[in-house]
Structure 1
Amino acid sequence: MVTVLMCLFIVLFAMSSVDVAKFEKLKNSLATGFGVENVGKVDTAEGIVLPPELAEEEGEDLTDLELAIQEVDDLEAIKERITAALTKEGLEDTVRFTLDERGLTVRMVSSETFFNPDRAELTAAAQLVLDATAPELRSTTREVTVEGHTAKLPDDRYVLDWELSTARAVNVVRHLVEQGGVESTRMEASGYGESRPLNEGRTEADLKLNRRVDIVVLSDQPESVRSLIPEVVEQRP
């Protein structure tokens, strides 16, 4: 009781002025805590004090599958907003989306559209796509990794492929940070050269598919939840 009284006087002292509304909230909160008065709703910090039986229901943890469904919903919402922004600029056909255990991938396929041959500088088309994508990346708190890839050719020199793919990824990150306002602390750039092709074909269409830059909005869920994302995606129409 002495400790409770001490806390009461500390709270009273912390209140710079006698605010009737604040005092009423404090009174109701203390009354509810001591079981003297049954207050349906007490708001002292933008929260709600619930009866014990409701508090137990609210506190129940979601299953990994339910969390995976929520995560897919969130990532799908990001995809839809990016698609809407690209459609508004007439750029909806310039990227492809994939959703897997890593998160949402915005795939800039066919590097010729976004970079000049064997160059790392962004083309005007690439800048337009990034400008349309940046607001959504800026509004989320998720980490984003940008990954550069090249096509595998018989006369390729591996070091040059790694340098080119990394330079392209870095330039995408730089544009998103400097022009798009995305937090640099959430961005990462990687170059994989020809080591991660989407397919092993040698046709021009296959090579264009492998020449790409992927912007991956990473899932922030634990591995047990992320592993269920492909299953959830597969079951959806």
Structure 2
Amino acid sequence: MSGHAGHAKGKKHKGGHEEEHENHERWVLSYADMLTLLFVLFVVLYAISSVNQQKFDALKDGMAKGFGSPLGGLSGSTGVLNDPGTQPQAVDMAVATVTGAAGSPSKAAVDAATKKLLAKQLAAASEKAEKLEQLKEKLDAELTKKGLQSTVNTRVTARGVVVTVITNEVVFEANSAVLRSGGQKIIHTLAPVLRTVDNDLSVEGNTDTTMSSPKGYASEYNLAGDRACNVVNYLARTERIDQARMTCTSNGKQNPLYPGTSAEANTLNRRVEIVVLADAVNKDSADSLSESEASKLAAASTSADADQQIADEVAANKKADAGTGTH
């Protein structure tokens, strides 16, 4: 009985509709959709990697048509891609304001840097001019103490402090480059102040504008050069100023202070100028002499017969030069 029933049940199962099998391949569709979306994403990323306004507008229009304006907000003014912060043109303009075209500095940046540099240079020039003016005042004060202000003139120029010594009979004899006691006194007065600076010194001989040949010299150009070099020698040997700081040259008649050939103009144009060049920084007031040299110069400057001491030292130097054959 039970066996029959079971047999009948089996037949009923065979005679009915077969069960539907579950579709295990639906994941392929989802996987294909994901790959499609990834492909679209990469295309979009590639398209905006080198953005320009034309490409950007084309992309915006294409995505608006594909997704519709309600979703992407692409056709309105409030969409993400319409945000001014993401506009390529706005970004380009911001960069251009700072760096200028082709990554070069902008005009505003260049102007600001130029103004800053000029201000720095102006401050340095002002400081240098102030130090030169202070040096001139010190020289004038020493010359006034010795009553030499009418024979020696000082002025500040672009080159530096120019000390003009008129080469009249007090300083040099006519047709001679030998520094006389009056000229030695002038140099001796200037030297202590010149030792307080590191600036190089240019000693320059000048003549008047007349055409003449001094006795014993091929031209006045040669005479002026010898006078300038003798001043350098005196500053180095007697006043102990480092000769490496000094040069001597002759300008001849090429640099007259006064035009014409009058007696007064000729007198004023015949001169030796000591130029304290402006291309070095002043030291403090202390000089670099040794203690023994400073004591010697202090004694010479305070002694009643200081001029005689200087003259004796110059004579000794001349004898030494004659013995060694120097010129």
Higher helix share: 2
Whether 1:197 and 2:197 are equivalent positions in the alignment is: no
Tell me if the contact between 2:209 and 2:260 (Cα under 8 Å) persists in the aligned partners: no
Structure-1 separation of matches of 2:234 and 2:132: 23
**Of residues 65, 72, 76 in structure 1, which corresponds to 2:122?**
65
Which 5+ residue runs of structure 1 have no aligned equivalent?
1-59, 222-237
> Which residue of structure 1 lines up, in the alignment, with residue 174 of structure 2?
117
Whether 1:131 and 2:188 are equivalent positions in the alignment is: yes
- The 5 A counterparts of 1:44-123 are 63-123=120-180
The amino acid of 1:173's aligned partner reads V
Relative to the length of structure 1, the TM-score reads: 0.64
The amino acid of 2:151's aligned partner reads T
- The 5 A counterparts of 1:30-45 are none
SS in 2 for 1:72: helix
- Structure 1 or 2, whichever has the larger Rg, is 2
Q: How many percent identity over aligned positions? A: 33
Distance 1:70 1:106, change over 3 A: same
Structure-2 separation of matches of 1:122 and 1:111: 11
Structure-2 separation of matches of 1:166 and 1:214: 11
Tell me if the contact between 2:140 and 2:154 (Cα under 8 Å) persists in the aligned partners: no
Q: CA deviation at 1:92?
A: 2.0
Relative to the length of structure 2, the TM-score reads: 0.47
Q: CA deviation at 1:111?
A: 3.1
What are the Cα deviations for residues 42-75 of structure 1, in whole angstroms up to 9, with x where unaligned?
Answer: xxxxxxxxxxxxxxxxxx9762222121111101
Q: Which has the higher contact order (CA 8 A, sep 6+)?
A: 1
Tell me if the contact between 1:97 and 1:107 (Cα under 8 Å) persists in the aligned partners: yes
The two structures, once aligned, show a CA RMSD in angstroms of: 1.9
**Of residues 220, 239, 245 in structure 2, which corresponds to 1:186?**
245
Count of matched residue pairs: 162
The amino acid of 2:123's aligned partner reads E
Tell me if the contact between 1:111 and 1:213 (Cα under 8 Å) persists in the aligned partners: no
What are the Cα deviations for residues 200-224 of structure 1, in whole angstroms up to 9, with x where unaligned?
Answer: 2111111111100000000116xxx
SS in 1 for 2:257: coil
Which 5+ residue runs of structure 2 have no aligned equivalent?
1-115, 281-327
Structure-1 separation of matches of 2:279 and 2:182: 30
Structure-2 separation of matches of 1:196 and 1:81: 26
Structure-1 separation of matches of 2:248 and 2:221: 12
Q: CA deviation at 1:110?
A: 4.4
